[in-house]
């Protein structure tokens, strides 16, 4: 339980953006967490955690941290050399760990059934959907849909849907979607999910797709509730990663000293995967606390809007509503 003064400070930090999302906000909040709030050593022993986009940055940090808590880790990414490098790094620090690699592109809906089959062979208890892209121009995924949407929304939902029988067969399964604080600036694109209208901007496409992702979390929580699967969305704050450096060099330079490192960015995802009791289902999180889906009036949407987008997502991913 967070006491009132701490809760008030936390809310002020969150709305200040600069202080809440940077390494300053992380340090201030971390100082107020009780030691017993941290995942216990061995808390993921006997569990298998799949981390998509785990070949660098936050994904690699998540993979290392869950391995340190005893999990078997399945690194999923597109680049074999980088995946093997992350695996080797984890094994050097945790030689007793079980770390596997399964190559796959979550934007390729046609290839996802095969990826799901290979992941199921490992047994899956937790999935962290961390894979991300920010293309500089409108780019089609293999299914013809906009690449950011396919990577952040369509592919992860289809993959989880296919793995649901395996998740439901276990105990306390969890599905975590890595979003971005940038999604707070985006409106839910009810009438243009594929970003076909207007001038395309990579950062805008990224924010829009993350907005859709977060809007789908409550629906997915209800969809998968019968399998006792907990669904969470979260954002890591402002984190120094190779992706940020490549896609947003100006921001990376300006905010550089304030950016969190990858381990700090990974913290809430790992906490959501390992904390006991399990987190409340269908919520959006940042720094281990639930956050609103929206802050700005212009970005508010109705439940009818959410339902309309869900129907489109199902159509694009070719799954039953």
DSSP-assigned letters across all residues of 17-45: SHHHHSHHHHHHHHTTS-GGGSPPTTTTT
Nearest Cα residue to 67 out of 36, 89, 34: 89
Contact 90, 99 (CB under 8 A): yes
Contact 37, 270 (CB under 8 A): no
> Among 21, 184, 195, 206, which one carries the catalytic annotation?
206
| Cα distance between the two ends of the chain | 36
Contact 97, 75 (CB under 8 A): no
Q: Sheet of 289-291: strands edge to edge?
A: 99-103, 72-77, 48-52, 126-129, 173-178, 229-234, 283-286, 289-291
Q: What is the largest CA-CA distance in the chain?
A: 52
The 3-state DSSP class for residue 263 equals: helix
Q: Is position 295 annotated as part of the catalytic site?
A: no
CA 30 to chain centre: 21
Tokens 């500089």 -> residue? 136
The 3-state DSSP class for residue 134 equals: coil
232: number of Cβ within 10 Å: 26
Angle between helices 262-274 and 23-30 (to 10 degrees): 40
The residues carrying an active-site annotation are 206
């Amino acid at each position: 339980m967070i006491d009132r003064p701490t809760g008030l400070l936390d809310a002020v930090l969150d709305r200040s953006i600069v202080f809440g999302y940077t390494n300053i906000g992380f340090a201030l909040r971390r100082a107020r967490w009780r030691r017993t709030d941290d995942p216990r050593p061995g808390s993921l022993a006997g569990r298998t955690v799949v981390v998509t986009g785990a070949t660098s940055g936050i994904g690699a940090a998540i993979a290392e941290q869950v391995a340190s808590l005893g999990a078997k880790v399945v690194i999923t990414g597109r680049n074999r050399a980088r995946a093997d490098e992350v695996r080797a790094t984890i094994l050097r620090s945790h030689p007793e760990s079980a770390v596997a690699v399964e190559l796959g592109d979550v934007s390729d809906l046609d290839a996802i059934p095969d990826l799901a089959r290979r992941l199921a062979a490992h047994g899956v208890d937790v999935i962290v959907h961390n894979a991300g892209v920010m293309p500089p121009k409108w780019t089609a995924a293999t299914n013809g849909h906009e690449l950011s949407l396919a990577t952040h929304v369509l592919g992860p939902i289809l993959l989880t849907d296919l793995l649901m029988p395996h998740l439901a067969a276990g105990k306390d399964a969890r599905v975590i979607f890595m979003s971005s604080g940038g999604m707070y600036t985006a409106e839910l694109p009810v009438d243009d999910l594929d970003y076909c209208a207007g001038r395309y901007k990579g950062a805008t496409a990224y924010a829009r797709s993350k907005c859709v992702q977060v809007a789908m979390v409550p629906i997915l929580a209800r969809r998968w509730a019968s399998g006792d699967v907990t669904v969470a969305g979260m954002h890591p704050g402002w984190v120094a990663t190779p992706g940020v450096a490549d896609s947003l060099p100006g921001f990376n330079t300006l905010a550089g000293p304030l950016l969190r490192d990858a381990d700090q960015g990974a913290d809430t995802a790992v906490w959501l995967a390992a904390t006991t009791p399990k987190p409340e289902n269908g919520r959006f999180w940042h720094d281990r606390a639930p956050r609103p889906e929206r802050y700005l009036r212009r970005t508010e949407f109705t439940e009818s809007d959410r339902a309309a987008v869900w129907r489109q997502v199902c159509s694009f991913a070719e799954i039953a509503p």
